[in-house]
Structure 1
């Protein structure tokens, strides 16, 4: 496929091509006009020579001797190479009786003189092809070149006179060469001047393109956006076409900025509402669960219907509490609160999360693949543990029993951070769901029941937490293999967000030391899955 050309290139090429066409037309017309003019002059000269050669004889002379014996060829008044031939009236079949061509030679004293050389048989044969109608004709004479030949009757026969066209042809050839050289130089100059002119004319468009490019590089899809980019005032003159485009672009950027500001304000109101509502709902939900548990523990006998209703109240309050906690966590992450970060080994967190997942999903096969060296990251340990728990819970919830789920931890080559992969050999994620898998309340199976306890916020929390840590999360899925990949930057990476670190309580070891080894309570769970180093 041919690469598209820029507007500047197209304009310059179009201008040069137009100038080339005009130059070609002018050169062609000039050449044709000069050709006609020179040949007209040559024909006039040819007629004059023929009339002088076959003109009226001197008094007392029957035939003009200079016509009959071609003496005119050596008398001057015509250019060298002039051809003369006589066709007598009684020669029959228009045979040429005598023919000669003027040529220059030198005398014994070294002085130039004009002689008449006899025509060859081939040359006379060429002359015999000329029509004896008195009009000039172009003839190619062998070994002599192009000629203009005309016939003129005289007393006793017909005289053929020919003048060479070499000088006219040389003049036309010189003109063509000059036209080509001048046209080429003119086109080169036009191309350079056109490129400079078009470059200056398109400079406002380049400034607009740079403004649009800077706008396109802004993160307009989320957060507060202050759209200050505008086209320079010098490029917004409404009297010019470019200025009209610049003014329209500025108006559009103003409308977009207003829309983004309104969108951000609306998002902030929703976030504040979600955060406030989630915070306020925690207390009544805790009260509902407490009263339900208190009723279970009471000594008063209750019927089976009441016990079932109380268990459902307790179950739904637990599920709603999880939903409220997830919403509150997302709201806090959206507000950009600083993280309580520290440097720790991520491997123990993976061990703990996989232990909990194996206890919750004994029908799955859980595998662990850890590096030999410590996988150090810097971040908020509880939030990163929530990421691991959510990813493993997602694999457990949406795959059938017997599925193999593998958690792999690897240090990125070159010290670029740590990569965690949660892989399963389940049925995979539907292709239509894959692009929206990290959106809030996204569900791979909209028709599934709520018995699984999923809120549709688990993977949204994963992306929010990983992004807050300066990392990236992605997913690839096909039937038989689904992989969630989390990449966290190195502890000294500039991509990490600014954070706060609270000192550990006096007399207690830092949390990094606590995460260095798995708790004893998880030692039994570790035996239920395969660990590989």
Structure 2
């Protein structure tokens, strides 16, 4: 079956409309003449007689009308065809792998065509961003896995070859490396579930100050070893949420403070606010620049990349925190604190 282009169809439609208008105009005129003659019972009078000049004038006016109609219709056709042709070319480029292709609207586009082009360009931009994110994630995950896997392989190879004696401390270090890999896999799984909308929450009503106190007691020994002290500023608050996920988020925030904050005080606070509960973790420095604060919740983002790698961490902790809070319908913020450091704030709505 032969397919015709929109341009061909529109041109043929314009021609048919013009011809039909011409036939209807003349047909109506002559029908009126014959109708009038039939009613009067007299032959066609001189008032309906046409000489050569009249016929020439009628033909010229008709041709001019047809020309104006065609030119006007051609301009309208261009308004339709240009964005459609641009969409066709851009869609073919995107299908061939060029995700940077964008469609053009042309001059004075129609509202529907403009909306269609805008939607296509937004779709192409999202595909381009998604493709870029996939490449970034693949590179970052490979980088994060390379170090612990290399260490494990080297130590195990040394044990197999008899280079390292099978001492307890060596096995303890190997267990720490496997724990790091497990945490990385768990974080990646949490982020994947959150992005796909399958992060399930098991909600129950908890006493927030009691939960924060329990988490602080769990981290107290590690904070003392890193020369930090935990201070609790807790106000009465009840919250219906996933307690296990909330603990996961708080442990990630506290671990982030323990790794990267200067030695000193780390304050945990909570209070009821705006039909929910606000929980914050604040340290004494060194602080985060506004540029980094805008992206600190993204995966594999570190405030100071070289220092962060020396102190460990995969760069997924804060991304996991945001994923958990967003799954609860809450919000996260990173702002300068009153202690000259950084305040990480979580707001979770009460789902009760």
Distance of 2:136 and 2:295 partners within structure 1: 21
The question of 1:440 aligning with 2:299 is answered yes
Match of 1:317 in 2: 178
Q: How does 1:166-185 map to 2 (within 5 A)?
A: none
Q: Of the two, which has the highest radius of gyration?
A: 1
Distance of 2:265 and 2:343 partners within structure 1: 12
What is the CA deviation profile of residues 269-319 of structure 1, one whole-angstrom value per residue up to 9, with x for unaligned ones? 889999xx99xx9xxx8xx79x97xx8xxxxx9745987765554433322
Match of 1:397 in 2: 259
Match of 1:490 in 2: 350
Q: CA deviation at 1:488?
A: 1.0
Aligned residue-pair number: 234
Match of 1:329 in 2: 190
Distance of 1:339 and 1:418 partners within structure 2: 17
**Partner SS, residue 377 of structure 1:** strand
Q: CA deviation at 1:264?
A: 8.7
Distance of 2:137 and 2:304 partners within structure 1: 30
The question of 1:255 aligning with 2:120 is answered yes
Match of 2:86 in 1: none
Distance of 2:315 and 2:349 partners within structure 1: 27
Q: Which runs of 5+ in 2 are unaligned?
A: 1-104
Q: CA deviation at 1:245?
A: 4.6
Q: How does 1:337-486 map to 2 (within 5 A)?
A: 337=198, 338-362=200-224, 363-371=227-235, 373=236, 375-401=237-263, 403-412=264-273, 416-448=275-307, 450-477=309-336, 480-486=340-346
2:260–2:311 contact (8 Å) kept in structure 1: no
Distance of 1:353 and 1:341 partners within structure 2: 18
Higher helix share: 2
Q: CA deviation at 1:427?
A: 2.1
Q: CA deviation at 1:486?
A: 1.0
What is the CA deviation profile of residues 242-269 of structure 1, one whole-angstrom value per residue up to 9, with x for unaligned ones? 5x25355134224225426745985998
Distance of 1:325 and 1:272 partners within structure 2: 15
Q: Which runs of 5+ in 1 are unaligned?
A: 1-235, 296-300, 493-533
1:376–1:491 contact (8 Å) kept in structure 2: no
Question: What's the TM-score, normalizing by structure 2?
Answer: 0.56
Q: CA deviation at 1:400?
A: 2.3
Change (3 A) 1:261 1:482: closer
Change (3 A) 1:451 1:307: farther
Question: What's the TM-score, normalizing by structure 1?
Answer: 0.38
Change (3 A) 1:270 1:348: farther
What is the CA deviation profile of residues 111-142 of structure 1, one whole-angstrom value per residue up to 9, with x for unaligned ones? xxxxxxxxxxxxxxxxxxxxxxxxxxxxxxxx
Match of 1:137 in 2: none
Q: CA deviation at 1:449?
A: 5.7
1:319–1:453 contact (8 Å) kept in structure 2: no
Distance of 2:136 and 2:241 partners within structure 1: 24
**Partner SS, residue 447 of structure 1:** helix
Distance of 1:348 and 1:265 partners within structure 2: 41
What is the CA deviation profile of residues 485-527 of structure 1, one whole-angstrom value per residue up to 9, with x for unaligned ones? 11111233xxxxxxxxxxxxxxxxxxxxxxxxxxxxxxxxxxx
Distance of 1:271 and 1:399 partners within structure 2: 27
Distance of 2:273 and 2:342 partners within structure 1: 21
RMSD: 4.0
Q: CA deviation at 1:461?
A: 0.8
1:271–1:331 contact (8 Å) kept in structure 2: no
Distance of 1:411 and 1:265 partners within structure 2: 37
Distance of 1:417 and 1:398 partners within structure 2: 29
Distance of 1:341 and 1:264 partners within structure 2: 34
2:260–2:308 contact (8 Å) kept in structure 1: no
What is the CA deviation profile of residues 126-166 of structure 1, one whole-angstrom value per residue up to 9, with x for unaligned ones? xxxxxxxxxxxxxxxxxxxxxxxxxxxxxxxxxxxxxxxxx
Change (3 A) 1:272 1:343: farther
Change (3 A) 1:350 1:272: same
2:277–2:350 contact (8 Å) kept in structure 1: yes
